[in-house]
Structure 1
Amino acid sequence: MTSLGYDNDQRQDSGGDARSAELADRLGLVRRRIEAAVHAAGRTDPPKLIVVTKFHPAADVRRLVALGVTDVGENRDQEAASKSVELADVDVRWHFIGQLQSNKAKSVVKYAHSVQSIDRPQVVDALVKAIAREKGATGRSDLDCFIQVSLDDDAGAHRGGADPSDVEVLAEKIESADGLRLSGLMAVAPLGADPNAAFEKLAGISEALRAVHPAATGISAGMSQDLEAAVTFGATHLRIGSDILGSRPAVG
């Protein structure tokens, strides 16, 4: 079986508190699932694990980084921006995976390594302006951009995303923009649908995209309940939340 380089002693390096030990156990289980899925798919290129930390405290992100996590995902700019400031001393890549309002682009480019939810031209326009401003102020690197594509019969009806027929227009717009890097596609399997069929469809859309934009190799797909199907159909990034962090904390 292909080794993903996970440390069998990671639980001992978890920091000593009960929450760190819990996260180490959960993270280990998910990593073993990924390794098994990679082996079953006959792959030699394990996908990148993005741990989705929405609604969980910055302290959990710090614990996860101590356990070897390098990438975290957030859905809400207000929460992500706050955590990124609190964790400015932590070496971690932030991925914005929620629906992006154009007026939040200026904030998101201050911390995000990637935006994985680009679904309309207005978002690209907002990011172009924001990244130019941020590059001028801080010299940050180009922003990795994933087009979120809908796998529902009606685009955006349930899980969001652009219609597959609109992907090429968005791809051209991103690729021609200064400061943005076209990385690939992101999608969520439709509610109640067979994830294998959904991710097979996504793989076909990705193949068509790469035929025109060879560098757009990324496929961000798969969550706690369907990561195996995503790995089978070529996911390069997995977005896992609840199976690692557990239920969201109670509010109040």
Structure 2
Amino acid sequence: MTSISEYPSRTDELRDRLQRVRNRIQAAGRPAGADEPHLIVVTKYFPASDVDILAGLGVRDVGENKDQEAAAKAADLAHLDLDWHFIGQLQSNKAKSVVRYAASVHSVDRRSLVTALGKAMAAEQRRRESEGLAARGDLSCFLQVDLRGDAARAADPGRGGAQPEDLPLLAEAVAGTPGLLLSGVMAVAPLGADAGDAFARLRELSAQLQAQHPGALSISAGMSSDLEAAVAHGATHLRIGSDVLGPRPPVR
């Protein structure tokens, strides 16, 4: 692993790491006819200054999983042309904050959250109208799927993600809520499982969703350790953190 001290500057380090990840994406075998997936750089626990550098290197999609941190960074960097992706588990009471800055939420996994996001979007549009601001676009929603088996779910029921059989009703809820756009599905490969098998299952679920909702074409899958498997199974969005930014700084 390359040491930070080997780089003259943080910009040089991020440029090198980013290019290595882009090279991996280019080299990964995509399904025939598939476009290159969007690279979302996950910047949790890293400073806004890193996001500023990444923007200068051509990054436009930034991922965060904690609202307090994401809201602060989005406010600090409002002058940049960035799309903020909320990728962590989202409490319903944070929906009002998230819709102020996020272009998409990748962790929609329950009906109550759909309701909260719909209400938050309506309130946000009213706020913007009252302040003479332009209306915001629809919030892109990815349905997060729990790909673990029944035993793993029973052992850790608090983890995010809807069960596959619950996706049709969840999709209908999103599609029927003004201000929300049903974009597709999202999943994390289960620990200890073969990532290829997990993402193949996610692709099947995506195809089933598209049969009822033809516009829900997106698949959010793949992180630093398994992006090749995700690309091979049709991922349209990759969520990459440590391979671009380096080891996560200690949380204080």
TM-score for both structures, normalised by structure 2: 0.90
Flag the 1:212–1:88 CA change in 2: closer, same or farther, 3 A.
same
Counterpart position of 2:99: 109
Mapped contact 2:45–2:251 kept (Cα < 8 A): no
Give the superposition deviation at 1:50.
0.3
Q: Deviations over 1:106-137 (max 9, x none)?
A: 00000000001001001001000000011122
Aligned to 1:178, the other structure's residue is in SS state coil
Relative to structure 1, is the Cα distance of residues 44 and 129 closer, same or farther in structure 2, using a 3 angstrom cutoff? Answer: closer
1:36 has 2:27 as partner = yes
> Aligned to 1:238, what secondary structure does the other structure show?
strand
Q: In the TM superposition, what whole-angstrom CA distance separates every residue of 1:83-120 from its partner, at most 9, and x where no partner exists?
A: 00111111110000000000000000000000010010
Q: 1:86 aligns with which of 76, 100, 103?
A: 76
1:249 has 2:238 as partner: no
1:121 correspondence with 2:90: no
Runs (4+) of structure 1 exceeding 4 A deviation are 41-44, 155-159
Query: 1:158 and 1:234 mapped to 2: Cα distance?
Result: 28
User: How many Å separate the matches in 2 of 1:157 and 1:246?
Assistant: 31
Deviation of 1:43 after TM superposition, in Å, equals 4.6
d(CA) in 1 for partners of 2:116 and 2:160? Answer: 19
CA contact under 8 A between 1:158 and 1:191: conserved in structure 2? no
Gaps of 5+ in 2: 1-6, 129-134
Q: In structure 2, what is the equivalent of residue 23 of structure 1?
A: 14
Q: Which amino acid aligns with 1:79?
A: E
CA contact (8 A) 1:38 1:46 kept: no
Aligned pairs for 1:167-246 (under 5 A) are 167-246=167-246
Instruction: State the shift of 1:160 in Å.
Output: 2.5
1:193-215 CA distance string (max 9 Å, x none): 00000000000010100000000
TM-score by length of 1: 0.90
Name the structure 1 match of 2:4. Answer: none
Question: Which one-letter code corresponds to 2:63 in the other structure?
Answer: G
- Secondary structure (helix, strand or coil) at the match of 1:146 reads strand
Structure 1 residues 179, 43: closer, same or farther in 2, change over 3 A?
same
Alignment correspondent of 2:139: 143
Change (3 A) 1:17 1:94: farther
Which letter does structure 2 place at the counterpart of 1:152?
R
**1:70 aligned residue:** 60
Contact 1:223 1:240 (8 Å CA) reproduced: yes
CA–CA distance in 2 between the matches of 1:222 and 1:172?
26
Identity %: 59
- What is the RMSD of the two structures over their aligned residues, measured on CA atoms? 1.5
Question: Could you tell me how far apart the structure 1 residues matched to 2:158 and 2:37 are?
Answer: 26
Amino acid at match of 1:149: V
Moved more, 69-78 or 154-163: 154-163
- The CA deviation at 1:243 is 0.3
Corresponding residue pairs, total = 236
The alignment partner of 2:28 has SS state of helix
- Find the aligned partners of 1:33 and 1:136 in 2 and give their Cα distance: 44
| CA positional deviation for 1:251 | 3.7
Structure-2 residue corresponding to 1:58: 48
What is the alpha-carbon distance in structure 2 between the residues aligned to residue 192 and residue 72 of structure 1? Answer: 27
Distance 1:230 1:56, change over 3 A: same
Is residue 153 of structure 1 aligned with residue 159 of structure 2?
no
Question: Relative CO higher for 1 or 2, CA cutoff 8 Å, sep ≥ 6?
Answer: 2
